[in-house]
Structures are given as C-alpha cells and as structure tokens.
Chains A and B, each alone.
Chain A
Amino acid sequence: MTDRIADIWGQRTPHARGTSWPVRLDQHLEEGVAESDVQRWVQSACVLCSNGCACDIAVKDGRMVGVRGRTDDVVNHGRLGPKGLYGSWQWNGRDRLTRPLIRENGELVETDWDTAMDRIVQRSRQLLDEVGSSSHGFYTSGQLFLEEYYTLGVIGKAGLGTPHMDGNTRLCTATAAAALKESFGSDGQPGSYTDIDSCDALFLFGHNMAETQTVLWMRVLDRLHGPDRPRIVAVDPRRTKVADAAVESGGVHLAPLPGTNLALMNGLVNQLITQGWVDEEYVSAHTLGFEELARTVEAYTPEKVSEICRVSPDDLRRAAEIFGTSERVLSTVLQGFYQSHQATAASCQVNNLHLLRGLLGRPGCGVLQMNGQPTAQNTRECGADGDLPGFRNWQNQNHIDQLAELWNVDRLVIPHWAPPTHAMQIWRYVEQGSIDFLWISATNPAASMPELPRIRNILGREDLFVVVQDGFPTETTEFADVVLPAAMWGEKQGTFTNADRTVHLSEQAVEPPGAARSDLDIFLDYARRMDLRDRDGEPLVKWHDPESAFEAWKECTRGRLCDYTGLSYDKLRGGSGVPWPCNAENPDGSDRLYSDGVFPTAPEVCESYGHDLLTGGATPPTNYQAERPDGRAFLKTAEYTPAPDAPSDEYPYICTTGRTVYHFHTRTKTGRGRQLRKAAPEPWVELSPGDAEALGVDEGDLVRVESRRGAMEAPARIGRGRDGTVFLPFHYGYWDTGAPDRQPTAANELTQTEWDPVSKQPLFKVSAVRVTKLAPGQRCAPAPTTTASAPHDPATVPATRGDQGAETREDPGVADPPGQVPSPEHTPGVPQPVLPHAARRS
C-alpha cells in the first residue's frame, strides 16, 4: 500500500528505450470498503487533468466508492495520479446543486425545470427579436463531453447564429491549437505519449509535467530509472521536479525571466542554424519560410539572449547542442509558454526546432502541444470554442457550405463573417453591454478569469442576464439570474479526447442527485423550447441522447483530420481508448501523425490561413494560396518585444501563477476530497530566498501581493524560485472561505487583462507586483513540500503526507502492456502533394 499524497508518482517500473512501458494497476477504495464489497465496476476515464487516464469506477449501493486504472489502456497502462485517486469521486453527494434556482427580488430561490427554462427562453427570444443573435454569448468549459460541446456548437452556430461562443479553454489550451494551426495548417497533436518510451532527449517548455500530468511523468520517470535514459531539458523559472530531473539526467535547466520565452526560443533556433544542426533535405522538401526564419533569429546570439532572459549563454548553447545532436527528441509545451507573453510565436518555435531537424512522425520524435483540461480537445474540435466544427476554416466558403449542408441551414446563418469572438472579447462586449445574455456552463470565471475585480463588476451589471450551469454552488453562481443543476462525471454518459487524441467513453455509474440533469439534456431542452428549426422546418438538433449525438458528430468529421467515423460506443467499450484519426481505412486509429512529412496546409483543407505572429493580423487567403503550401509546414516566428506590465520601481517583482499537484482549477472537486484538501488546504505566496531576505519575510509570514489592478494575501513560502519572481497558486477562490472583501486569496485578483495576439490566451504569467509583509506567521505556509513549492530549507517544514485513508494499492506487472496503435504512413484527411518532389525542394 502506498500513500500517494506523500509518494505522488508511486513505485517505479523501469524499462529500456524502445520497449513497452510496463503495467501497474493503481486502485483506491473508500475507507471501510473492501474489493469484495464493490458491486459494479463502470468504465470511464479521469477528468482531473488533460492526460485522459482510463479507469473503472467502483459502485456500491448506487454510490461511487472507488476507482482503479485500466491496465489495457494505451494512455496510462493501469496507473492513476493523486487527483484521480483522491478527487475523482470523493465530492460525490456533497454540497451539490440539486434544484434549478431563479432570482426573485434579488435572491436565488429554488424552482422547477419548466420555470427556470422558460425564464431563459423568454429572455433569449426577447433579445433575439430586439437586437439579434449578437446579444447572446456562451462561455463554456474544458470539462464537458464531446456530445455536449457539439450540441452547444450547433445551437449557437446553426440555430441562433451567434459568433460569441468560447470556452475557458481560451485560458488553458488556445495556444496549443493556434501554434499547431500556424505551423501545420490545422489543430491536431502530431506526437503521441508513446514517444516518451523511445526518445533520447526530452524538452519540457514551460511544462511542469510532474505536477500537471502526474501519470505522464511516471512514464518519464520509468525511462529515467531504466538503462539508456533520456536527457531532460526544462524551461521553467521555478525549480520544479522536472528541473531537478533535468540536472540529474545530464541535461539543462533554463530559468528565463518570465515574459522572455520568445527571445530564448529565437536563441535556440539561432544555435541550431549557426551550428549546422539542420536537416536541409527535410527543410527544403517539407517546409516553407526558412530564409525569413533565419533572418529573424539572426540577432539572437547566446549573449543577447542571456541579456534579455538572464540565463547563462553556456546553458543555452548546451541545451541547443542536446537538441541538435540527440537522435530522437520529444518536446512538450504547456502553460509556462501558453499563458505568457508572445505565446504563439514561442510555441511555434518549438515546432520549428523539430521541423528544422526533421524530428517528427517517427518513434521518439515528436511534439506534444499539451492541453490543460481533460476535454479541451473536444471544445476545440466540436465548435464550442469559436472554431468551426471538424477543424473547418471560417474563411473557406466550401467549409461553410459543408456545414450548411450537414445541418440543412442557410449558410448565412453560420457566423463566418469575422473571426469567431474569443473569450476575452466576449467579456469585453458583456462589459460594454452589447452582449446582454451570457450562458456559462461548467466553469467558474469569478475565480479563474484574470483581473477578478473587473469580472465581478461585469457579472454584476444590471441589464445582464446570466445563466450558470454547474454541479456546485460557486463564486460564479452568486451572480446568476438562473442556476441550472448539472450532472457530473460518473452521473452521465459521453466521450472525450485527451491531449494525444485518444478517445475514451465514460459511462454513467450512478444517478445524478435530486433534479440535476446532464449538460446534454439541458442543451437539448433549450433547443426544443426555442423551437430551433432547419431549412425544411424539421427540428435543427436531430439527436436525443449521447450515442445519437456521437453518431451525428461522426458525420461532421468525415474526411477531416479529426476523423471519428471508425469509432462507435461499442468499439470504445472494453479494451483501450483509440486515438483519432480513425476511419474505415485506419480502424485501429493513429498513434502519431505526419510520418511522411506531409501536413494539412493545402488551402482546401487547412483550418486557418495563418497570422502574423507579432500582431495577429490575418494572412489574406490569396496570399496564402500564392505560397502554394502543398502539404509543407510553415516555419514562423516573430521578433521579441518586452511584455506589457513590465516591473517598475513601484512594482518591482514579476508574478506568475500556476497549479499545485493536489488541486484542479478552482477546487470544486479536489477541494472536497479530504486527502487533497489536507495536502494543500490554503493559498500561499512563493518567494525566492534572496527576495524574502530583502523583504524581511520569514517562512509563514502573512504577505500582501499587489499589482496595479488588485491584491491577494497569504502566508509566504520561502521556496526555490529565481530572484525577482513571485509564484501564486491560482486554485483558491472563496466558495469555502468567505468573500474577497474579507481576505482576498485568489491569485487572479491581480492578474492582467491582456492576451496573446494570435491565440488570444490571457497573460497569467506576467504581472508586475509589489510584496509587503503584513504580520509575522504563527506556523509554516500551507504549501506542499513534495513538489515545486518545496521549501528552500526542508528542515523548517513538516513533510506533506496523507492520512490512513490515503492507502492505495499498486500492482506492477499484473498484465502485459497494451499493444501498439499503428501510425499511418500518410495522414488521413491530408491531401497528397500536387507539386512533383523536385519542385517541392526548390
């Protein structure tokens, strides 16, 4: 038995390069429940990070009482992380919303579904008549199922015709999608988790994998404990476990000043080019834009980069050498890049490193532009985040016609006259009053959006009608005119797709509490009550349950890169999840994409014609066509510019925000799991030893962190970060503690309303702040000691551990590893090149 609070990654199962990752079955049951007490095991996959670990839910007497990993699944080979073990079902039955609520005389009161839905429909109809569909905004999630997003997407795009629909995926994964579109023409993860099993070097760019995707990190650790281990390079301003591993493996830890990633990346690409670590044949046959790339990065010598980023020039050279000379390199990218300044350009430079060396589409050679949330990929592909369903291009009239035909609606209804409205702009329109109807589903913007004082003002605007659909009362439901109680994971059926394109089915294990309904049923009910019709007067939404919604979605993906037509609920039952594209020719799915170096950049299939990475200006379609991309990838970057909200005398520190391993988002689930809550009960402020000394702050002292926009207060952890940088965990809002006017604890009180010009992802990771000591501490800061928030001086702080109820069974080697998924030689949905090979190499 293992305490997986103390031992986050569990026991090792080392293996050699190129061999299969051994199985380890992880299982955790509620205290007092024995395995023989479990009446049913119900198939699902975990939704507490983007990794997508397959699991079975234990059910006893109509309650969820435990969880175990599925050994035959390609994603996790039986393992689960601490959030899955201690937070996936423990919230079950606590504090739930069980009846619809409506606001009467300023108070939220219980009502029935008819009354609540009629009130929504009445307001919706009135605004459509008076103003039109531009008055409606939808802000959704990275937590719902594919079927729910697609239904919402069709309602918004073919029913109402509003361009204002986006998800909180804008805050977490928008840059992944944008970087893939800019480089390869379309969203779609090139690499696979299996690349970890055979790489020689692993680069993690702004990705604290050890905390954000613990099971993926177990996979890395098992390589690091085996023979011929890979070298790790970590780019992170904090001394994370990943950074420790980088140093121990003979790699490099680069800790650039927050906001300078692009300068660092331009420097790495500069080294690759000047040192001659470029596969010229691959570059000339499979890419466009080398000359301009080389010109742009020319000025970024190690010395210049060192000045901007404050990293040693030798470390930069060493990192470039590891990338340039290792046989097989895998890179992963996450929030350290996505939520920072010049996010898309910096993330595209990761793609460029691989394109320059031709390290794509082969075992151990890949890029993982990661996601933050479990179902973010579905928000992106189903049309719930603004992009059109099936990775279609809003500027391509043929793509609009395909959708108009599929949905049997007038093409002019489908919003495609301008780029879909991104979340930050939706909130601006709400602020200005041109959106008066805002429907928020499965997300908690009153804790997770940047600059919370502003968000609270917006949500409190008098004329605004707010619908909030959630499983729990949150900071956001406080502002609602109508609250709809939603069923959650285990209480409904649906599918979702993880960061390496693997699709899982999650079955319903138990009944939802009270009158709560699935999000799908709520959206279907709205469509019915609004009487949304197609061109022949038939109901627009022709499905009625998860499986029929999935079948409808399959038709939408036919022939596209994200082809689901080879999948079905039956196929996803038992056995492993399956990565798309999966169609008749590739019935077992596709492990990695682009084996032949042909990308979906042909104008007739690409999802976007691309943007200027400095400004976000859209490339005109004719310019794009004139480049004749013909399946070649784009080598794009931009010049580095200093970040907005730069430190000053008044606000001398740079503040970054992030996660801890024990919580997810605003803790609505993980904060209700006893082990997780105990491991990281309250917020903290992480200071470097040097900064703490200068400020006269000791471990546990109460400090105030303040930007030009707002402030938060919490005890100080004297950590291991770099001087000049302050770290705040973003999980801690007010649903369990009180109100922001008592003691502000949310990191987002002080973050800024500013975003990347291409992906429109907000800049959570660069806020200029000042730090003041408020009072001496009574005890140590409540920050975990097991991870990046470990204290500088371990002797001063008791170690984080679980209690008796944390015992988890781990059984290594109980089964053979699942078989390999094939990688197609040519990627489905991608046209073969038209130009002869010789012409492509001009």
Chain B
Amino acid sequence: MHLPVYVGLLDSSLRSLADAFRQVSDGHGEEPDVEYLCQVLARQVDEQLEALTPVVRRYGENREQEPERLRATGLESTRSGGVGLLRDLQDLYMLGSFVDMTWTVVGQAAQGLRDRELLQLVDACEQDTTRQLQWLQTRIKQAAPQALIAAK
C-alpha cells in the first residue's frame, strides 16, 4: 500500500506551507493585513498537522523511498516591493494548491478504505485549504494592477 507515501507527502507539504505563511508574514510587515492573516493561516495549518497525527500513527508515513522530485518546495526567502509581494503570494498559492490536491488524493484513498475518520478530516481540512486559496486569489487580484502598472 502506498498511502503512507502520500501521508508523508501531506505532512511535509503542510509543514512547508505553514513555514511559508510565517515567512511571508515576517517579510511583509509593511502590509499589515498580509502580516496578520498569514499568521492566522499558519496557525490554521498547524492545527491541521496536529489533526493529522493520529493518521500518521495509523498508516505510518513513508518518506525514505519518496523520490525528491515529489516534494513540495517551500519558500527560500521573501521578496520586496509591489511585484515582490505579488510573487510571494503566488508562491503561497502554488504551495496551497499542492496541499489541496494532496488532500484530494488522500481523500480518494480514504474513500476506498472506507476510513470514516480520515474522510471527516480530509473534508474539514480541504475546506480550510479552499478558504486559504480564495484569500490568496483575492489578495493577488487586488495587488496585481497597481504593482504591474503604477509601481515605481
């Protein structure tokens, strides 16, 4: 069974996402809404990680055999300026989308295994991930025209 591979992937990509939210929060203190909401969302991801712990315990997580290229890469550093903010939010969006699809894949396995507990968890967490992506999309749309047209 390869579910542990994806449980491991989920665990590691959630950690990357939480770290990335914190990095963007720290790196964009001059955008107070981004600073605060990224902290709130990082905590939300922390809670997902906590909720995932019993699943990891049950199925195990298999990281050793996981080829490097399947990992979600986190942010290296944040950028500055209007376009920099845009790119950082877009990186968060990519990472969030990766997490979103990983929940979907795990959810499919949970269906096949008729694992009610895991299904419930996937359902709740996917909703949170959707909210994160919707916020990122909203904020990116808002920032884009000014950053690309009028910023100095």
Contacts and interface: CB of A to CB of B under 8 A. Distances in A.
B141 A418 contact: yes
A659 to B, nearest CB: 25
A435 B145 CA distance: 12
B59 interface: no
Nearest to A135: B150
A269 to B, nearest CB: 20
Interface in B127-152: 131-138, 141-142, 144-147, 149-152
A755 B32 contact: yes
A757 interface: yes
Interface residues of B, number: 28
A614 B40 contact: yes
B141 to A, nearest CB: 5
A419 B142 contact: yes
Contact of B135 (A135, A419, A434, A617): A617
Given A132-B150, A134-B146, A428 B134 contact: no
Contacts of A612: 131, 134-135
A748 to B, nearest CB: 15
B82 A753 contact: no
Interface in A661-697: none
Interface string A411-434: 000000111010001001100111
Interface string A629-655: 000000000000100100000000000
Interface string B15-40: 00000000000000011110011001
Interface residues of A, number: 32
Given A418-B144, A616-B135, A754 B31 contact: no
Interface in A612-630: 612, 614-620
B145 A428 contact: no
Contacts of B152: 432-434
Given A419-B138, A419-B142, A614-B131, A641 B40 contact: yes
B41 interface: yes
A815 interface: no
A504 B142 CA distance: 36
A739 interface: no
B28 to A, nearest CB: 11
Nearest to B32: A754
A757 B37 CA distance: 8
A131 interface: yes
Contacts of B82: 432, 434
A621 to B, nearest CB: 12
Contacts of B40: 614-615, 641
Nearest to B43: A641
Contacts of A641: 40, 43
A297 B102 CA distance: 29
A620 B43 CA distance: 25
B135 A417 contact: no
Given A134-B150, A135-B150, A753-B32, A617 B144 contact: no
B150 A435 contact: yes
A175 to B, nearest CB: 15
Contacts of B33: 616, 754-755, 757
A418 B131 contact: no
B37 A615 contact: yes
Contacts of A134: 145-146, 149-150
A619 B145 contact: no
A428 B31 contact: yes
Contacts of B144: 418
Contacts of B145: 134, 163, 417-418
B149 A615 contact: no
B134 A620 contact: yes
B134 A617 contact: yes
A425 B146 CA distance: 11
B32 A617 contact: no
Contacts of A754: 32-33, 36
Contact of B134 (A132, A433, A615): A615
8 contacts: A428-B31, A429-B150, A432-B82, A615-B37, A615-B134, A616-B33, A617-B138, A753-B32
Given A418-B141, A641-B40, A755-B32, 7 more contacts: A134-B146, A135-B150, A419-B142, A611-B138, A617-B131, A618-B137, A754-B33
Interface of B: 30-33, 36-37, 40-41, 43, 82, 131-138, 141-142, 144-147, 149-152
Give the 5 A-B CB pairs with smallest separation, nearest first.
A617-B134, A617-B135, A615-B135, A134-B150, A434-B150
